[in-house]
Amino acid sequence: MTRVTARALLLAQLLAAACAPAAIASSHREAPFITRHPKTDATDFYMFRSYEPGRADYVTLIANYVPLQDAYGGPNFFQLDPDALYEIHIDNNGDAREDLTFQFRFANTNKDAQFTVGGKKVSIPLVVNGGAVADVNAAGANVRETYTVSVVRGDRRSGTRSPVTNASGGSATFDKPLDNIGNKTIPNYAAYAAKHIYDVNIPGCGKTARMFVGQRKDPFAVNLGETFDLINIKAPAVEFAANAERAARDDLDDKNVTTIALEVAASCLTAAGGSDPVIGGWTTASLRQGRLLNPTPSATASASKEGGAWTQVSRLGMPLVNEVVIGLKDKDRFNHSKPSGDAQFADYVTNPTLPALIEVLYGSAGAKAPTNFPRNDLVAAFLTGVKGLNQPATVTPSEMLRLNTSIAPVAMGAQKRLGVIDGDNAGFPNGRRPGDDVVDIALRVVMGKLCTLNLGCAPSDAPAGAIRFTDGAYLDDSAFTAAFPYLKTPLAGSPQR
């Protein structure tokens, strides 16, 4: 790697950081308004053919929320919002509108455990009452967090709605595990969390699905701190070294996140008849339009009253879009928008600012931005899917994650972290697996990597298209597990690491 391209790499990271709060953190705190509502902040969305042995006929959907969780974040930890609506949407006919939506609602019950102190019963201040927690809704838990799930066919507001039920017993209410408070409270967290993986029946689906909602280790990897500190990292070597992609710390390595995971038969997600194997997916979170604060909350009167229509406040499909593609003035607008309205954001994709800024500062020394306008390579990656890979038979240009369910999964250990651009068509941007290093992929694609593959443009259109851009925080499938829900056990709040 030349000194010029090394400087271009650093500039790419700086400009990405300048585009939005917490940029390149996939979707952690990516827009001004959502920073005020972390419980509804979607951080990452994954959609991939299940690669657990024996599950290849299924697609796993993972929607993560509540960014930057410190494991020691008590005493209340990180419950999801009972006044919010969390959704995973599937478009299976390419019209940029949901055909299938999974809606999650949460409820938190304070059991009001009390100790007798000096002859008086007094409510305790903690989410556990002194006993170890090992089972679902354990006696030692002072708070019970439950949820319900509905599947909506058609428009998410007016379509046909049916409850998802437990395949064992038929209940429509499920328990979410407590967060990983610490080893004294929950001695074996992995075993405890595993008891919250449910086999479920989804009306209209012929095969039993699996579901898990709970805290996990944050699966994303990125060098955040030094990027934001005016790129306070060591510059890559003049000649590209094999370890350059491992040269920086993953600043999310000590963070947890809250996961909503569903494993659904691929035949349930594709259009009736299976004529088109390509599906699109995205997640949202919504709040009620109105909130009235209660100046005197009590045990029987909540701190606020929510009302009015649902209003979408978070949206996530492809990673990094709202961070490094959408302009700062439109970030809140994007979070409130639907894929069917994405024409309003087209200029951000067809005429992106990031490579143009790199050329302004370093073009005379050889760091030229791609010259093909409109950027049809980025249109394919972000708005339509790549023809012959994951583009639907008919498509309305719109931002979402797209997966060709006819492409076989690749087993853990054989996956390539750079996905399609490294010859692994089961990886990003054909869906997204936990081990796909989307930061490195996105940095290379925005500077024209797809042109070098003749996807939407020619190699001559991208003078810097062969540069191996990296943030130095390495990610591959070794950071995950080989079975549902794929994300690792969350970090414990105690003992200290």
DSSP strand pairing (58-70 vs 255-265): antiparallel
Contact 402, 431 (CB under 8 A): yes
Contact 421, 381 (CB under 8 A): no
pTM above 0.75, yes or no: yes
Q: Which of 72-76, 90-94, 123-127, 366-370 is least confident?
A: 366-370
Average pLDDT for 225-254:
59
CB neighbours of 2 closer than 8 A, spacing ≥ 6? 238, 366
Amino acid at 453: L
pLDDT at 179: 96
Q: How far apart are CA 429 and CA 98, in angstroms?
A: 20
Q: How far apart are CA 383 and CA 401, in angstroms?
A: 9
Q: How far apart are CA 414 and CA 46, in angstroms?
A: 19
Q: In this model, does residue 228 exceed pLDDT 90? A: no
Contact 287, 37 (CB under 8 A): yes
359 belongs to a structural domain: yes
Quick one: residue 230, left, alpha or beta (phi over 0 = left, psi -120 to 50 = alpha)?
left
487 belongs to a structural domain: no
User: Distance between alpha carbon 480 and the CA centroid of its chain, in Å?
Assistant: 15
In which band, very low, low, confident or very high, does the pLDDT at 274 lie, cut at 50, 70 and 90? confident
Q: How far apart are CA 137 and CA 236, in angstroms?
A: 51
Q: What is the mean pLDDT of the chain?
A: 86
Average pLDDT for 106-119:
94
Q: In this model, does residue 158 exceed pLDDT 50? A: yes
Contact 177, 193 (CB under 8 A): yes
Eight-state DSSP code of residue 206:
S
161 belongs to a structural domain: yes
Average pLDDT for 128-143:
91
Q: How far apart are CA 440 and CA 445, in angstroms?
A: 9
CB neighbours of 182 closer than 8 A, spacing ≥ 6? 492, 493, 494, 495
pLDDT at 443: 81
Contact 30, 323 (CB under 8 A): yes
363 phi and psi angles, rounded to 5 deg: -60, -35
Q: In this model, does residue 232 exceed pLDDT 90? A: no
For residue 107, what are the β-bridge partners? 146
DSSP strand pairing (165-166 vs 198-201): antiparallel
Range of the domain at 236: 32-461
Q: Which of 58-67, 152-161, 390-399, 478-487 is least confident?
A: 152-161
pLDDT at 15: 36
Q: In this model, does residue 187 exceed pLDDT 60? A: yes
In terms of C-beta density within 10 A (0-12 exposed, 13-18 middle, 19 or more buried), how is residue 148 classed? middle
Q: Is 182 helix (H, G, I), strand (E, B) or coil?
A: coil
DSSP strand pairing (278-293 vs 84-91): antiparallel
Average pLDDT for 327-336:
85
Contact 345, 332 (CB under 8 A): no
Q: Is 160 helix (H, G, I), strand (E, B) or coil?
A: strand
Q: In this model, does residue 13 exceed pLDDT 60? A: no
CB neighbours of 244 closer than 8 A, spacing ≥ 6? 1, 236, 237, 468, 470, 472
178 belongs to a structural domain: yes
Average pLDDT for 290-311:
90
Question: Total domain count for the chain?
Answer: 1
Place of tokens 């853990």: 412
Q: In this model, does residue 9 exceed pLDDT 80? A: no
Going 455 to 456 to 460 to 464, the CA torsion angle's sign is negative
The number of beta carbons lying within 10 Å of the beta carbon of residue 162 is 16
The number of beta carbons lying within 10 Å of the beta carbon of residue 179 is 28
pLDDT at 14: 35
471 belongs to a structural domain: no
pLDDT in tens, 101-112: 999 999 999 999
In which band, very low, low, confident or very high, does the pLDDT at 252 lie, cut at 50, 70 and 90? confident
User: Which H or E run contains 312?
Assistant: strand 304-316
Q: How many C-alpha atoms does 402 have within 13 Å on its Cβ side? A: 31
In which band, very low, low, confident or very high, does the pLDDT at 404 lie, cut at 50, 70 and 90? very high
Place of tokens 């599937």: 90
293 belongs to a structural domain: yes
Quick one: residue 352, left, alpha or beta (phi over 0 = left, psi -120 to 50 = alpha)?
beta
Average pLDDT for 467-477:
83
| Top-confidence residue, 157 or 404 | 404
494 belongs to a structural domain: no
pLDDT at 37: 85
Q: In this model, does residue 163 exceed pLDDT 70? A: yes
Q: In this model, does residue 20 exceed pLDDT 50? A: no
CB neighbours of 4 closer than 8 A, spacing ≥ 6? 362, 365, 366, 367
Place of tokens 């509804």: 40
6 belongs to a structural domain: no
Rounded alpha-carbon distances, angstroms, from residue 279 to 92, 397, 402, 430: 5, 14, 6, 10
Place of tokens 């992995």: 190
In which band, very low, low, confident or very high, does the pLDDT at 339 lie, cut at 50, 70 and 90? very high
313 phi and psi angles, rounded to 5 deg: -125, -10
What are the E-state strand segments in 165-303?
165-166, 174-176, 198-201, 209-217, 255-265, 278-293
